[in-house]
Amino acid sequence: MIHRLWSRYPDIAPHLEAAQRLLAARAHLRVPAVETIVQTQIAAGGKMLRSGLMFMLARFHDADNPDLVTAAAAIEALHLATLIHDDVLDGAATRRGQATLQPTVGARNAIYAGDLLFSVYFELLAQAAPNVRTVGVNARSMHRIFLGELDQNAQPPEPLSMPTVHRYLRQISGKTAALFALACYEGALLSGATRAEQQAAKRYGRLLGMAFQMTDDLLDLTGDDRLQKPKREDLQNGVATLPAIYALQADPSLLPLLVQAQTDVQVQAQAAARIIESGVPQAAELAARYTQKALAALAIFPDTAVKRDLLALTQALLARQQ
C-alpha cells in the first residue's frame, strides 16, 4: 500500500507500487514466521520517501527508465534491513504500526532476516547499476550509514555524558542523510542527468536527510498523539537528540534528569518540558537552515512544474506535524 502522500503525484505512485512489488517478490524467506512479518513490513511501506525522492529527481529527465524501479526496490531493501537491525538494538515491538521481528522470531532470526535483505539490495543493485562506479557510490554510502550507526550506539567515553552538536551532525550524516543522498543521486543518474546535476541531487538529498532527522527529533517532543512513534521515545531510550544536546549546553545540571527520564515516566515529562523550553528553539532554527540549504541545492535544475513540485514536497516534509 502506497502512502497517501504520493496520491498528489500520479506519475510517481505507480513506479513506487512497482518497486514495492519487486521487493516483495525478491524478499522470500524459507522460515514462514519470518517471511510473514517481513512481507507485512514491505506491504506497510511507510512513506517510501527515499525511493519517492529518487523518482522526483528523475522527473527532470527520464523517470520511465525501468532501472529506476529496480534501484528503488534496492533502496527500500537497504532501508528496511537497517530498520530491522535497529529494532533489534532498540528492542522495538512495532514499526510502521506493524509488529517487528524479534518479539516473535527472536533477535538472531531478525538479524539474519536483515542480512538477507542486504543481499537482496546487492542483487537488485547489480541489475540497476549502469557501471562499476555506481556500485562504488553505493558501497561508500553503506559505509557512511554503518559508521553513523556505530557512532550512535558506541558507549560514551564517560558516564552521564552527552555528545556535542558536531558529533550529532556526524552521526546523522551517516545514519539518515547518506541514504537520502544516495536515492536522490541515483534518481538523477539513472534518468540521464548531467554530472553537475547528479552532484547537486546528492547534495540536496544529504541536506534534506539532515533536516529530516532534526525534524524527527523535534517531533519526539512536540508531535501530536497521532504519531505511530510514541512521544518521548528518544528520551526513554536515552537517545541524544539535537534539542536535548542544546538544552544540556544551556544547563549542564539537566543531565541527571535526562538519565532518570529513561526509567521514570513523570521525570520524562519534566525533562521534555525543560528541553522544549531551552533546546527546541535552537534545534528548530538549525533544521530550518539545513532546509534552506537543501532548497538552494536545487538551483541548478530548470524552473519547471517538476521543480516546483519538489520544492513544495521538501517544505511539506519538514513542516510536518507527524
Task: Check whether residue 113 and residue 195 sit in a common domain.
Answer: no
Taking CA atoms, 164 is separated from 108, 139, 169, 249, in Å, by 33, 28, 9, 9
By the 8 A CB rule, do 103 and 110 touch?
no
Mean pLDDT of 224-233: 65
Task: Check whether residue 101 and residue 169 sit in a common domain.
Answer: no
Taking CA atoms, 266 is separated from 90, 143, 305, in Å, by 21, 39, 49
By the 8 A CB rule, do 39 and 27 touch?
yes
Task: Give residue 280's domain range.
Answer: 132-322
Hey, which residues does 94 pair with through a beta bridge? 99
Task: Check whether residue 153 and residue 98 sit in a common domain.
Answer: no
Task: Check whether residue 274 and residue 152 sit in a common domain.
Answer: yes
**From CA 209, how far away is CA 220, in angstroms rounded?**
17
- The residue among 112, 128, 144 that closes a domain is 128
Question: What DSSP letter does each residue of 70-130 carry, written as one string?
Answer: HHHHHHHHHHHHHHHHHHHHHT-SEETTEE-SHHHH-HHHHHHHHHHHHHHHHHHHHHH-S
**Residue given cell 554510502 in the structure block:** 141
Task: Check whether residue 191 and residue 319 sit in a common domain.
Answer: yes
Tell me the CA end-to-end span of the chain in Å, nearest whole number: 19
Residue 163: per-residue pLDDT: 77
Considering its fold, how many domains does the chain have in total? 2
Task: Check whether residue 146 and residue 109 sit in a common domain.
Answer: no
Task: Check whether residue 147 and residue 286 sit in a common domain.
Answer: yes
- The residue among 128, 148, 176 that closes a domain is 128
Percent of the chain with pLDDT over 90: 52
Task: Check whether residue 156 and residue 47 sit in a common domain.
Answer: no
Tell me phi and psi for residue 100, to 5 degrees. -85, 175
Task: Check whether residue 54 and residue 175 sit in a common domain.
Answer: no
Task: Check whether residue 162 and residue 288 sit in a common domain.
Answer: yes
What is the Cα 128 distance to its own chain's centre?
22
CB atoms within 10 A of CB 40: 12
Please give the model's pTM, rounded to 2 decimal places: 0.91
- The residue among 99, 128, 157 that closes a domain is 128
CATH number of the domain to which 72 belongs? 1.10.600.10
Residue 159: per-residue pLDDT: 41
Task: Check whether residue 203 and residue 316 sit in a common domain.
Answer: yes
| Residue-averaged pLDDT of the chain | 88
138-181 pLDDT, tens digit each: 888 888 888 877 777 665 544 446 778 998 999 999 989 999 99
Task: Check whether residue 91 and residue 214 sit in a common domain.
Answer: no
